[in-house]
Structure 1
Amino acid sequence: MAPRLHACKGLALGGDPTHIATMQSLAPAFSHVTEWVFDLDNTLYPASADLFSQIDVRMTQWIADYLEVEREEAFRIQKALYREHGTTLRGLIERHDIDPDSFLAFVHDIDYSPLKPDRALGEAIKALPGRRFIFTNGDKPHAERTARALGILDHFDDIFDIVAAKMTPKPSEATYQAFLAAHGVHAQKAAMFEDMARNLTVPKSLGMVTVLVEPTEQPRFKQSWETERESEIDFVTADLSDFLTRLVGAL
């Protein structure tokens, strides 16, 4: 069965011949794009790698240790801060004035071995016409380790991380504007790929082509509200590598 790929207006596609033909007909939607912007976690690698669950567990542990509370309470605090402030880190900074460097180093001290080089993804990203960026609410060292494990690090022009965003995460519009300004990116010539629908609302309003990378089954660490869609998204795919490979072939 072909990976799920459709426009959010309700056009669902299935079967390889129709899938390929539709990709060719959708290519004009990307014909003007010269700036390709990718979220990192659960976007450039599949959620099935379960990498972010390690980060999720370590965030809970950090909060439990720092606030001296039980893990159950730490988990509750973690998710409440995440929902209210965009990231757990931002909430901890605002509520507890923590050292962000210490937090980031701890939560990203994980095992990257579940990630394997993705040659097809690398070739597709490399073939995209124009510049390519990673835009993440994580930090740059984590992004570099992740992209290196996937074998795609060298295909990106730069990484815009939470430090560059002055600890203000997506979906804050100020953070998108900071990214655009830092790299001279014209939003109306850009496409953005994300696993979080709410992080595509601002890019869509700025004129970017938006692509939601949404697995068939949601990861166990995601909360139900994280999958809610606040605005129309241009395309949805369960397989980024397949999407880009077919798109590059049609451009």
Structure 2
Amino acid sequence: MTTNVDPARFSHVTDWVFDLDNTLYPHHSNLFSQIDVKMTAYVSELLQLPREEARKLQKELYLEYGTTLNGLMERHNIDPDDFLEKVHDIDYSWLVPDPVLGVAIRQLPGRKFIFTNGDRGHAERTARQLGILDHFDDIFDIVAAGLTPKPARQTYEKFAALHAITGPNTVMFEDLARNLSVPKALGMTTVLIVPRNFEPTFSEIWERDPKFEDDVDFVTDDLASFLTAIRQSQTA
């Protein structure tokens, strides 16, 4: 379900910005499920709650504060470093190296960034396992964001200021439409990454963003093919 690529919409792009989880690797790899389980366990241990109650609270925090971490910091003053270390203690071998994606990213003209609500270590380990780490100019993580997660406008503005990014010259790739609202307002081209053969039933209800559809310029379920099509149109 790669939407048609309009070459004119990408010919001016000098900065390529990618979310990490479920964007640079496919949703079906299910890597984030490991993090999700770790977060539930963290909440359960912290508050001495049964797993079912801990998971319900975890999702409430996610919805209200943007990330579970942000909610736990606000309500329970936890140590963010401890949280990030524990929830990212996962098995990265679940990811299959993606040389096609690596070539597609490497050949894009301009700078490439990872912009994630996770931490740098997680981003580096993920990108290294995929075989694409060396193709990025920098990683902007939750620590660089001052622990304020996307979709907060100030976080995008901090990222843009740090790297002298101009909205109209930038494209952002994300798996959550709500995280494309501010980029769209800043003038960026926006691309939503959805699971392969996407149907709404494949996505948990708290991750669906139908009200943000107007902030999405393009949709694809195959990032490598989408990027390759952009590059081919630019070199044709």
Aligned to 2:120: 140
Contact 2:198/2:221 (CA < 8 Å) preserved in 1?
no
2:187 to 197, 207, 220: 207
Q: 1:218 to 1:154 in 2, by over 3 A?
A: farther
Identity of aligned residues (%): 60
How many residues are aligned here? Answer: 231
Confirm whether residue 64 of structure 1 aligns to residue 61 of structure 2: no
Indicate the SS of the match to 1:113: helix
Indicate the SS of the match to 1:109: coil
Contact 1:133/1:158 (CA < 8 Å) preserved in 2?
yes
1:73 to 44, 53, 57: 53
Aligned to 2:145: 165
Aligned to 1:9: none
Contact 2:2/2:225 (CA < 8 Å) preserved in 1?
no
Q: 1:169 to 1:219 in 2, by over 3 A?
A: farther
What letter corresponds to residue 136 of structure 2 in structure 1?
Answer: F
Q: How does 1:119-134 map to 2 (within 5 A)?
A: 119-134=99-114
Aligned to 1:36: 16
Gaps of 5+ in 1: 7-21
Confirm whether residue 237 of structure 1 aligns to residue 220 of structure 2: yes
Gaps of 5+ in 2: none
2:204 to 219, 223, 231: 223
What letter corresponds to residue 240 of structure 1 in structure 2?
Answer: L
Moved more, 75-84 or 114-123: 114-123
Aligned to 2:229: 246
CA drift of 1:171 comes to 0.4
How many angstroms apart in 2 are the aligned matches of 1:226 and 1:50? 15
Any runs of at least 4 consecutive aligned residues in structure 1 with deviations exceeding 6 A, and if so which? Answer: 218-221
Q: How does 1:145-156 map to 2 (within 5 A)?
A: 145-156=125-136
Aligned to 1:5: 2
What letter corresponds to residue 5 of structure 1 in structure 2?
Answer: T
Q: How does 1:76-95 map to 2 (within 5 A)?
A: 76-95=56-75
Q: Deviations over 1:94-130 (max 9, x none)?
A: 0000000000000000000111211110000001110
Contact 1:237/1:243 (CA < 8 Å) preserved in 2?
yes
Indicate the SS of the match to 2:56: helix
Indicate the SS of the match to 2:96: coil
How many angstroms apart in 1 are the aligned matches of 2:42 and 2:199? 25
Aligned to 1:99: 79
Q: Deviations over 1:152-199 (max 9, x none)?
A: 000000000000001100000000001001111111110000000100
